[in-house]
Amino acid sequence: MATELLMPKLGLTMTEGTIDEWKKKVGDTVQKGEILYSVATDKLTNDVEAEDDGVLLKIVVPEGETVPCRTLVGWLGAKGEAVPDGAAPAAAPAGAAPAAEAPAAAPVKAAGAYVPATPYAKKLAKEKGFELAQIPATGYRGVVVAKDVLAYTPAAAAPAEPAVKASPLAAKLAADLGIDLGTVNAHGRVLAQDILAYLESTREKAEPAADAREEVKPMSGMRKAIAKNMLASVQTSPTVTFNLSVDMSEMKRYREQLKAREIKVSYTDLLVRFVAKALTEFPLLNCSVEDNKIVYKHYVNMGVAVALDSGLLVPNIQDADKKSLTQISAEVKELAKQAREGKLPPEKLRGGTFTITNLGMYGIESFTPIINQPEVAILGVNTMEDKVVVRNGETVIRPMMNLSLTADHRVVDGSVAAQFLQRVKSLLENPALMLA
């Protein structure tokens, strides 16, 4: 019997995933353990392995489409076997049922699930190339009506030329590349490959002799996720970056004392612990903004940016304000390792309340980090260098390090950010205060 391939739920908090790439074509023979397709979540791309031998019979969800967990994405079975008609996912995704009682809540429905819509709304959506499931419903009995379709703008589609039908991926690509969908040649619906072909053709016209000097590659799922998140962050938060120089002499000494006792911690580990302490005193730096409301978090999940060849991940250390330095140290090491191996549990990527990003190893002296939404601040850590400073009227040499704090001015005013940064500085320069 044909087996349903369902969008996996990769961790507790994952609700939906995007098919990044099908590694097999319909008709390909697949062995148990072979990679069938990759799934991109917000920040992570996971490979999904075949659980049985068989043949990929059908792809239900094409590349680039996002569906809720447990949604049918394809069929695996014996060669030549028929796929059940109109088969529904074994388990209806819990979040997929339209919220009939609360049309105002405008739930976005699961792709694949039946979307109640008026015939006219369906006709309009089809003409505009919209996925009904993506259109918030406000009609009677929670039905998508014409005005919902008319009011709907797909997140990434170019607002111009809505009449051109395009796959979501193509629409997104076109938007990213600034290409007018209407100018792209396609047989029917514009697909991603049509956009790429178009790009190729315009390049040829512009630089006929330079065809080998550029190369176009589609973004990986992770790249797309980063692009999307960074753009969204910049569009969401009005930010101010504050720089402050910190004397790291005490930290240096502290680290050496620990080292002498066989406890190895990095400056990042130390920063995680000390900044977590400061955050408990400045709740405005440890909050998020939702619908004109401020959500204060009575815990500190400290995100630590991990650079990878393929991009950037920000796993977080949960309850960093309550953990010991050694616990933190061990956890940071493990998270970095998992991130590099692509085995980071997705829940480690969710629920952060503040982020530390360290570029000190590259000699960076100052930068303006971008907030990891929905957090409201991020602390950039720069290189530590011995510098001549004046202490008590004398010039002395001290290990100095710049901190670059970017904060969301919607909730964090300059004075608050400055006081917070000042507090971090005092803690780092006077570790005894940690116990005060």
| C-beta separation of 92 from 109 below 8 A | no
| Segment contacting other proteins by CB under 8 A, of 42-50, 67-75, 119-127, 269-277 | 119-127
Give the count of residues interacting with other proteins (CB under 8 A).
11
- Measured between alpha carbons, how far is 34 from 307 in angstroms, rounded to an integer? 28
Amino acid at 237: S
181 lies in the site for other proteins, by CB under 8 A: no
Interactions with other proteins, residue window 59-118 (CB under 8 A): 118
CA dihedral of 426, 429, 435, 436, whole degrees rounded to 10: -40
Task: Pick between residue 121 and residue 195 the one whose CB is nearest to other proteins.
Answer: 121
Task: Pick between residue 72 and residue 117 the one whose CB is nearest to other proteins.
Answer: 117
138 lies in the site for other proteins, by CB under 8 A: no
178 lies in the site for other proteins, by CB under 8 A: no
Rounded least distance, CB 150 to other proteins, Å? 10
Interactions with other proteins, residue window 312-331 (CB under 8 A): none
Length of the chain: 436
Interactions with other proteins, residue window 254-283 (CB under 8 A): none
* Strands lying side by side in the sheet with 45-49: 45-49, 35-40, 16-22, 66-68
Task: Pick between residue 123 and residue 343 the one whose CB is nearest to other proteins.
Answer: 123
| Segment contacting other proteins by CB under 8 A, of 137-145, 236-244, 308-316, 419-427 | 137-145
Residue 409 designated active-site: yes
Show the binding pattern over residues 281-310: x = contacts other proteins (CB under 8 A), - = does not: ------------------------------
Catalytic residue among 9, 409, 416, 433: 409
Q: What is the longest distance spanned by two Cα atoms in the chain?
A: 86
Residue from 39, 145, 300, 332 in contact with other proteins (CB under 8 A):
145
- Measured between alpha carbons, how far is 96 from 67 in angstroms, rounded to an integer? 10
140 lies in the site for other proteins, by CB under 8 A: yes
Task: Pick between residue 120 and residue 296 the one whose CB is nearest to other proteins.
Answer: 120
Q: How many CB atoms lie within 10 A of CB 290?
A: 9
- Residues of the chain by 3-state class (helix, strand, coil), percent to 5: 35, 25, 40
Residues classed as catalytic: 409
* Residue numbers at the binding site for other proteins (CB under 8 A): 118-123, 139-140, 145-147
